[in-house]
């Protein structure tokens, strides 16, 4: 079976939603994963933020305007009166729910429930549309099989068992299964999500759990480009990437893929194809174990914002052993992952992107030495194949950014990644200048 995931813009208006059947082979047994309609999750995030701030009237206005948007949406999507009526009831149900949540005490539980409505609406609307054009489909509730544990890690065994049971109930060879991306339940059984952009992760987790032939991520661009197309002109799609290369790019900011979405596919060796809904014939990018066997050198650049750099200076570090372990333990206690690290004999610098416990971490680190923190940093990640016998790439990279101040450098951590930390104010210039120099 193939898994096909369509992102927000791919279902971004009624016509787009209708056109999906030109891409999907409706005679094949497949699982279709849908995101919310473009803009909906952003609106729901805004509504939730207003409710957290107890700005209920403003929230109501936003809810009403989103509700009206969907009333128009379904008018354009359906021609069959009975199905339109069903869709009207559906929209009324979801907006009654959103409104009822905004009356009560508003906690993170209600917030996550609100965020889940976008995917619940888009998948049901598409299911109804397929009914209107007489294509058989089954709606699989993601909340019945997608679950994360207390650390936010997906439970793949549970997913496999639950999903297989659901799929086995339908033997037809030509049935389309539709499910929600992004949403899941957490360890307490509450509605939760896989973080922003999480529908890619849903697709890759499902593909891995059922050992799909291929996971296809359909989006609004013709594959993974060699630099961020939102910032740099003349970027180009890359035909083939290895799992390692794609994972580095996704993790370090290439928005086309959710940061964690490559790992399950890599673990279970399921190829991932990035394809363009607006240009279905374009080749896109194939992400697989082999990648591009002939490729050498620099392949792509990505950037991850919102990074905080922490330096611990201590003369006690000199010739000491166990020092780094004790520093890392502080981050472990606060469940805060470290991205980059560089050391000298008397200092260590590292970066984090989750600052929830920054103050506690700083306090504990103060026991080891002098601590300094730099906010608003960006990791520029250069991905390629840098085997031990390659030379010259570092020089090329530094030539490209020699006019910019550098905070940290990481080389040799893997054969696929060279990372440079800079202040975020220099990000655009760094990406553009590197692009000119490297490609």
Using CB under 5 A as the criterion, which residues of the chain lie in contact with Mg ion when the complex forms? 7, 197
- Under DSSP, is residue 219 helix (H, G, I), strand (E, B) or coil? strand
Name the one residue in this structure whose structure tokens are 């929830």: 356
Nearest to 289 by CA among 327, 262, 321, 261: 262
Query: What is the Cα 334 distance to its own chain's centre?
Result: 23
4-12, 53-61, 98-106, 405-413 -> range binding ligand ADP (CB under 6 A) = 4-12
Sole residue written with tokens 């066997």: 293
How far apart, in whole angstroms, are the C-alpha atoms of residue 59 and residue 354? 28
In the list ligand ADP, Mg ion, ligand ASP, none, the entry touching 154 (Cβ below 5 to 8 angstroms by class) is none
Place of tokens 């549309």: 129
Phi/psi class of residue 61: alpha, beta or left (left: φ > 0; alpha: ψ in -120 to 50)? alpha
CA angle in degrees (0–180, nearest 5) for 354-355-356: 95
- CA dist 230 and 233 (Å) reads 8
Count the neighbouring beta carbons within 10 Å of the beta carbon of residue 186.
16
Kindly state the smallest distance separating residue 237's Cβ from ligand ASP, in Å: 20
Interface positions, 268-307, toward ligand ADP (CB under 6 A): 302
Of 35 and 351, CB closest to ligand ASP: 35
* Binding partner at 272 among ligand ASP, Mg ion, ligand ADP, none, C-beta below 5 to 8 Å by kind: none
How is residue 406 written in tokens? 């550098």
Give CA–CA dist 175/18, Å, rounded.
18
CB of 95 to ligand ASP, least distance (A): 17
Interface contacts to ligand ASP, rule CB under 6 A: 7-8, 35-36, 41, 118, 181-182, 196-199
Q: What is the Cα–Cα distance from 176 to 167, expressed in whole angstroms?
A: 10
Considering the rule CB under 6 A, would residue 192 count as an interface residue with ligand ADP? no
Output 278 or 406, the one with its CB closest to ligand ASP. Answer: 278
What does 36 bind: ligand ASP, ligand ADP, Mg ion, none (CB cut-off 5 to 8 Å by kind)? ligand ASP
Nearest distance, CB of residue 289 and ligand ASP, angstroms: 25
Question: Taking the complex as a whole, how short is the minimal distance between the CB of residue 273 and ligand ASP, in angstroms?
Answer: 17
Asked if 8 interacts with ligand ADP (CB under 6 A), we say: yes
Please spell the DSSP secondary structure of 242-296, one letter per residue. Answer: EHHHHHHHHHTT-TTS-TTTHHHHHHTT--EEEEETTSTTS--EEEESS--TT--
* Closest to ligand ASP by CB, 180 or 410: 180
Q: Which is nearer to Mg ion, 203 or 379 (CB)?
A: 203
The answer to whether residues 193 and 186 touch, using CB atoms and an 8 Å cutoff, is no
Are the C-beta atoms of 307 and 407 separated by less than 8 Å? no
Q: How far is the CB of 119 from ligand ASP (least distance, A)?
A: 6
Q: What does 41 bind: Mg ion, ligand ASP, ligand ADP, none (CB cut-off 5 to 8 Å by kind)?
A: ligand ASP
Q: Residue 265 corresponds to which tokens in the numbers above?
A: 């596919």
- Partner whose footprint covers residue 9, from Mg ion, ligand ADP, ligand ASP, none (CB < 5 to 8 Å by kind): ligand ADP
Q: Which residues of 137-149 are buried (b: 16+ CB within 10 A; e: fewer)?
A: bbbbebbebbbbe
Question: Taking the complex as a whole, how short is the minimal distance between the CB of residue 43 and ligand ASP, in angstroms?
Answer: 10
Closest separation between CB of residue 152 and ligand ASP, Å? 15
Closest to ligand ASP by CB, 34 or 312: 34
Minimum CB distance to Mg ion smaller for 118 or for 369: 118
CA–CA separation, 10 and 5 (whole Å): 9
Q: Which does 196 bind (CB under 5 to 8 A by kind): ligand ASP, ligand ADP, Mg ion, none?
A: ligand ASP
The rounded distance, in Å, linking the Cα atoms of 15 and 17 is: 5
Question: Shortest distance, CB of residue 255 to ligand ASP, whole angstroms?
Answer: 10
- Could you tell which of ligand ADP, Mg ion, ligand ASP, none binds residue 181, using a CB distance below 5 to 8 A set by kind? ligand ASP
229 binds ligand ADP (CB under 6 A): yes
Cβ 166 to ligand ASP shortest distance, Å = 22
Contact range with ligand ADP by CB under 6 A, out of 2-10, 23-31, 80-88, 381-389: 2-10
* Residues 240, 214: Cα–Cα separation, whole Å: 14
Nearer to ligand ADP by Cβ, of 94 and 225: the residue is: 225
Site for ligand ADP (CB under 6 A): which residue of 7, 198, 264, 400? 7
Residues of this chain that bind ligand ADP (CB under 6 A): 7-10, 35, 197, 219-221, 224-225, 228-230, 254-256, 302
């Amino acid at each position: 079976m193939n898994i096909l995931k369509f992102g927000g813009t791919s279902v971004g208006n009624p016509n787009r939603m209708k056109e999906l059947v030109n891409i999907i082979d409706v005679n094949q047994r497949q699982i279709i994963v849908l995101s919310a309609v473009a803009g909906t999750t952003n609106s729901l995030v805004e509504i939730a933020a207003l409710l957290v701030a107890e700005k209920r009237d403003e929230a109501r206005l936003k809810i009403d305007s989103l509700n009206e948007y969907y009333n128009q949406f379904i008018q354009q999507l359906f021609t069959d009166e009975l199905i339109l009526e069903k869709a009207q009831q559906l929209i009324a149900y979801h907006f009654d729910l959103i409104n009822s949540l905004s009356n009560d005490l508003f906690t993170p539980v209600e917030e996550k429930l609100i965020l889940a409505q976008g995917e619940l609406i888009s998948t049901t609307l598409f299911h109804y549309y397929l009914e209107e054009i007489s294509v058989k489909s089954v709606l699989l509730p993601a909340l019945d099989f997608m679950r994360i544990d207390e650390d936010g890690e997906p439970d793949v065994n549970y997913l496999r068992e639950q999903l297989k049971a659901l799929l086995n109930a339908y033997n037809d060879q030509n049935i389309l299964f539709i499910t929600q991306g992004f949403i899941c339940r957490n360890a307490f059984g509450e509605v939760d999500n896989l973080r922003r952009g999480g529908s890619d992760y849903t697709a890759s987790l499902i593909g891995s759990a059922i050992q799909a032939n291929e996971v296809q991520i359909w989006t609004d661009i013709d594959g993974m480009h060699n630099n961020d197309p939102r910032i740099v002109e003349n970027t180009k799609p890359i035909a083939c990437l290895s799992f390692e290369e794609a994972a580095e790019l996704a993790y370090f900011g290439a928005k086309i893929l959710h940061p964690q979405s490559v790992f399950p596919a890599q673990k279970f060796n399921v190829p991932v194809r990035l394809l363009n809904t607006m240009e279905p014939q374009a080749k896109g990018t194939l992400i697989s174990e082999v990648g591009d066997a002939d490729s050498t050198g620099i392949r792509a650049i990505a950037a991850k914002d919102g990074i905080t750099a922490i330096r611990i200076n201590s003369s006690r570090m000199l010739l000491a052993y166990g020092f780094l372990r004790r520093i890392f333990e502080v981050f472990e206690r606060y469940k805060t992952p470290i991205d980059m690290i560089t050391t000298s004999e008397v200092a260590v610098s590292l970066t984090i992107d989750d600052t929830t416990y920054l103050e506690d971490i700083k306090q504990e680190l103060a026991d080891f030495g002098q601590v300094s923190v730099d906010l608003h940093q960006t990791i520029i990640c250069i991905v390629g194949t840098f085997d031990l016998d390659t030379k010259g790439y570092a020089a090329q990279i530094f030539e490209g950014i020699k006019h910019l101040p550098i905070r940290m450098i990481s080389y040799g951590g893997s054969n696929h990644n060279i990372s440079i930390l800079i202040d975020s104010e220099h990000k655009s210039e760094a990406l553009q200048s590197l692009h000119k120099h490297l490609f």
